[in-house]
Structure 1
Amino acid sequence: MPETMTRDDALAELAALHDPKVRAVNERHGDDHSVNLTKLRGVAKRLGTTQTPLARELWATGDGDARLLALLILKSKDLTADELDTMLREARTPKQQDWLVGYVVRKSPHVEALRVRWKGDSDPWVESAGWALTSDLVPKKADDLDLPGLLDEITVRMKDAPERLQWAMNWCLGTIGIHHPVLRERVLAIGERLEVLKDYPTPPGCVSPYVPLWVSEMVSRQG
């Protein structure tokens, strides 16, 4: 049975799990949570995934740990498109946005409407979420997209885009190259010309996010 917990109970438990070292590491990446994510997930597991009223209360606190917990315990179908839009605009750390888009919006009945809304937004942070959701469609639902048009837009905008948006566009570019052979040559040419993330430090054993290297590596694994 899911555990019953009030907002104050949850906040107290999160406070007890606070780890300054975790906070220091996360701050270097632009995040603001201070609880080890394995322990955070443990709290969420006890609460279950249908605690939307509690999740709304935790999100409203603005606390980084409380917001991540909220995203793990809410039921995505309980949230309206406008609620999700508001949450995205409030989620100003990478982890909050990644979890909101990955764990909640992708399961929402409003995902396509939000993808279109966000991709056309004037806020680069919000727009990046729209690009992330667009990339989700590239492998299997590309008929719903204008892939050459996306490549046109990436060619013009990615080089000078803010970091978060640039990463999202780069991911979309690479995903098109990996899954659509007919456009692969053009994708590689765009990557070579723009040189986005060409010098990104990549640990041994990991694939570079530089599109010409990334696409070539992933395609070689397909064969």
Structure 2
Amino acid sequence: MTLSLQAKAIYAQILQGTTKLGDLRNIAKEIKKDHALAMQLWSIGKFYPRQLAILIMDKKLLNQEAIDELCNDIQNHEAEERNQLIDWMMANQLSKDKKTIALMESWEKSASPLQRRLFWYYQARLRWMGNTNHSNTEYLLTSIEDNLLKEEPEVQWAMNYTAGQIGKWQEEYRNRCILIGERTGLYKDEVVAKNCTPSYLPKFISIEVAKLQKQ
């Protein structure tokens, strides 16, 4: 794709100095919504232009076919960038429209591991701030118990995080979620930075429940 002068100028701006997420958001505020420009920036194939592209996409144009293409492109990034891009897309686009929310809710068994990650991460996000009014919790936990260790690493993290959110907020499922962590041993040896909560479910749930009890 041939870049327009505007896309070239924006890319040059991104390349100047150290790019931060705040810088990208400021640029996006100036541009607002411009899907054609977003696709030009996306075609550059680099991490920061693609992050900016996500911010200025038109969510009404993100149907299953378009998302499949974006996911295929994201899959070519290294793991950290890959996860950041797909989560960024969910937070800034896919979770903002009923049509794309319905798509995410259909992706548990998608052929794309990134879409499966979004299915689970969205389920976790639904439970943030103690929202426990969901009828599929039992189903989700059974699926996690049966499939967690079979999944790709990026999907495992989101499944594990969903179990963590359930265990944090719903006492009736707490021991079951802790047992998932003990049985799988997933993230048991993870080293995290100071003031960060580990992903190992027994530790995660214990720390997060203690925070709730202090409130």
TM bucket (normalised to shorter chain) is 0.7 to 0.9
Q: Which residue identity lines up with residue 110 of structure 1 in the other structure?
A: K
Residues 170-185 of structure 1 mapped to structure 2, 5 A cutoff: 170-185=160-175
Going from structure 1 to structure 2, the CA distance change for 1:7 and 1:102 (only over 3 Å counts) comes to farther
Choose from 95, 99, 102 the match for 1:110: 99
2:48 corresponds to 1:57: no
Going from structure 1 to structure 2, the CA distance change for 1:60 and 1:17 (only over 3 Å counts) comes to closer
2:81 corresponds to 1:97: no
Q: Which residue identity lines up with residue 119 of structure 1 in the other structure?
A: E
2:183 corresponds to 1:193: yes
Give TM-score scaled by structure 1 length: 0.80
Does the Cα contact within 8 Å between 2:7 and 2:37 map onto a contact in 1?
no
Q: CA RMSD in A?
A: 2.4
* Shift in Å, 1:36: 3.4
Partner of 1:70: 53
- Structure 2 spans left out of the alignment, 5+ residues: 76-81
Going from structure 1 to structure 2, the CA distance change for 1:132 and 1:89 (only over 3 Å counts) comes to farther
Going from structure 1 to structure 2, the CA distance change for 1:141 and 1:107 (only over 3 Å counts) comes to farther
- Structure 1 spans left out of the alignment, 5+ residues: 1-5, 23-34
In 1, distance between residues paired with 2:61 and 2:39? Answer: 11
Partner of 2:78: none
Partner of 1:25: none
> How many residues end up aligned between the 2 structures?
203
Q: What whole-Å deviation, never above 9, does each CA across 1:156-211 have from its counterpart, x for those lacking one?
A: 22124221011011111101101211111111111111111011111122211111
In 2, distance between residues paired with 1:143 and 1:73? Answer: 32
Partner of 2:20: 36
Partner of 2:69: 86
Q: Which residue identity lines up with residue 14 of structure 1 in the other structure?
A: Y
Partner of 1:143: 134
Choose from 214, 219, 222 the match for 2:204: 214
Q: What whole-Å deviation, never above 9, does each CA across 1:89-108 have from its counterpart, x for those lacking one?
A: 43222221111111100102
Does the Cα contact within 8 Å between 1:173 and 1:187 map onto a contact in 2?
yes
Does the Cα contact within 8 Å between 1:119 and 1:130 map onto a contact in 2?
yes
Choose from 117, 121, 143 the match for 2:110: 121
In 2, distance between residues paired with 1:119 and 1:221? Answer: 31
Q: What whole-Å deviation, never above 9, does each CA across 1:52-77 have from its counterpart, x for those lacking one?
A: 33223333443333221111123424
Partner of 1:202: 192
In 2, distance between residues paired with 1:151 and 1:69? Answer: 35
Q: Which residue identity lines up with residue 49 of structure 2 in the other structure?
A: A
Does the Cα contact within 8 Å between 2:71 and 2:112 map onto a contact in 1?
no
Q: Which residue identity lines up with residue 13 of structure 1 in the other structure?
A: I
Q: What whole-Å deviation, never above 9, does each CA across 1:79-128 have from its counterpart, x for those lacking one?
A: 33443343234322222111111110010221332123221213323211
Going from structure 1 to structure 2, the CA distance change for 1:103 and 1:116 (only over 3 Å counts) comes to same
Q: Which residue identity lines up with residue 46 of structure 2 in the other structure?
A: D
